[in-house]
Amino acid sequence: MLEYDDRIAVAVSGGKDSISLLHILTKMELEYPKASLVAVTVDEGIEGYRDEALRIAARNCRKLNIEHHIISFKELYSYSLDEIVRHLKEEGRNKLTPCAYCGVLRRKALNIVARDVNADKVATAHTLDDETQTILLNIFHGDLSRLARGKPITDQVHPKLMPRAKPFCQIPEKETALYAYIRKIQFQGIPCPYASEAMRNDMRLFLSRMEEKHAGTKFAVFKSMERIRPAIEKMFKRERLRKCIRCGEPTVGNICRACEMLLQLFDA
Ligand code: SF4
Ligand code: ZN
């Protein structure tokens, strides 16, 4: 996933997974003098939650002597996630959850900040749990093209689109937590206030129950997907990316999903 001379932007949210990833990559990077690390954090603007996570992320970066860059929804999109959610509630017409907006806007923000710091790749701390939840969610939504695209390392398909690597994709969440506890690493323990509204939460409970009863379920789902993916990839021809007519970021259509979402919300 990672090359000996990569400049890696580690996406650090402040939670146990991303902070553990930052500590582990910092340790590994010592062996590779040509590689470098930089931490990047997206501040979605979630009051009472993200503020503490930002402090924890910054403290860990200082301790590890890692350069840290923060990009916020407010500065990038003019609206924080809290403001978007308030607007959604006032309008009362939208069926999408806060996570649906957050995911799209954060992916774009992460790509922009990683490019700004001249990274070659973005490393995210998606664990085996996250990956298996995403696989099942895509199946439940019938979204096969996304199932094909959700690889542990993405290919660089556009000069403005950073390849993303998920070094923890086969590591259960319990183990990243265990690592953080054993190494006495400080991380944010409270969950995001919007997390319970997402379908992902139901999937998490389902998979955890299955894993408890039938150990190895999560690995089986992940490995099955790895074997099936090449066949699914063949079903979709690679879409050519172009520039969003509003923001210039890579997109398959005329306008990127983030711009489209914000337009529907605030300019409709
Ligand atoms: Fe964003 Fe949802 Fe994650 Fe909260 S739980 S940070 S709203 S994706
Ligand atoms: Zn756009």
Chunk the chain into consecutive blocks of 10 residues (it has 268) and report each block's average pLDDT, rounded to whole numbers: 96 96 96 96 95 95 97 97 92 81 96 96 97 96 90 84 96 96 93 86 95 97 96 85 94 94 85
Q: Which residues of 248-262 are buried (b: 16+ CB within 10 A; e: fewer)?
A: ebbbeeeebbbbbbb
What residues does the ion ligand 2 have nearby, CB within 5 Å?
A: 244, 246-247, 256, 259
Residue 107 main-chain phi, psi, to 5 deg: -60, -40
Ligand nearest to C-alpha 258 = 2
Nearest CA to ligand 1 atom 8: 99
The confidence score (pLDDT) of residue 89 equals 87
Radius of gyration over alpha carbons of the chain, in Å?
18
Burial of 226 (0-12, 13-18, 19+ CB in 10 A): middle
* pLDDT of amino acid 240: 84
Task: Supply φ then ψ for residue 63, to 5 degrees.
Answer: -60, -40
The whole-model pTM stands at: 0.93
Give the ligand whose atoms come closest to the C-alpha of residue 256. Answer: 2
Gap from CA of 161 to ligand 2 centroid (Å): 13
72 sits in which H/E element: strand 68-72
Find out whether 80 and 93 touch, Cβ atoms under 8 Å: no
Is 99:198 a contact under the CB 8 Å cutoff? yes
Dist CA 18 CA 20 (whole Å) = 5
State the CB neighbour count (10 A cutoff) for residue 265.
Answer: 17
Ligand nearest to the CA of 103: 1
d(Cα 179, Cα 195) in Å, to the nearest integer? Answer: 24
Amino acid 129: pLDDT? 97
DSSP label of 153:
B
How do 121-123 and 68-72 pair as beta strands? unpaired
Ligand nearest to the CA of 48: 1
Q: Following CA atoms 123, 108, 247, 112 in sequence, which dihedral angle do they give, to the nearest 10 degrees?
A: -30
**Location of structure tokens 């009472």:** 48
One-letter identity of residue 182: I
**Ligand 1 atom 2: residue of nearest CA:** 99
Q: Which tokens is 10 given?
A: 């580690």
DSSP strand pairing (250-251 vs 242-243) = antiparallel
Distance CA 268, CA 262 (A): 9
How many angstroms separate the alpha carbon of residue 103 from the centre of ligand 2? 15
Q: Which residues line ligand 1 at a C-beta cut-off of 6 Å?
A: 44, 98-99, 102-103, 192, 194-195, 198
Strand extents, DSSP E, 142-218: 164-165
Q: Which atom of ligand 1 is nearest to the CA of 102?
A: 1
Q: How far is the CA of 242 from the centre of ligand 2 (A)?
A: 11
The number of the ligand 1 atom at minimal distance from the alpha carbon of 98 is 7
> What's the confidence (pLDDT) of residue 93?
67
Phi/psi of residue 126, nearest 5 degrees: -65, 125
**What are the helix and strand counts (H, E) for the chain?**
11, 7
Ligand 2 centroid vs 249 CA: distance in angstroms? 6
The pLDDT of residue 155 is 77
Do 123 and 165 meet the contact criterion of CB atoms below 8 Å apart? yes
The answer to whether 229 and 151 are in contact (CB under 8 A) is yes
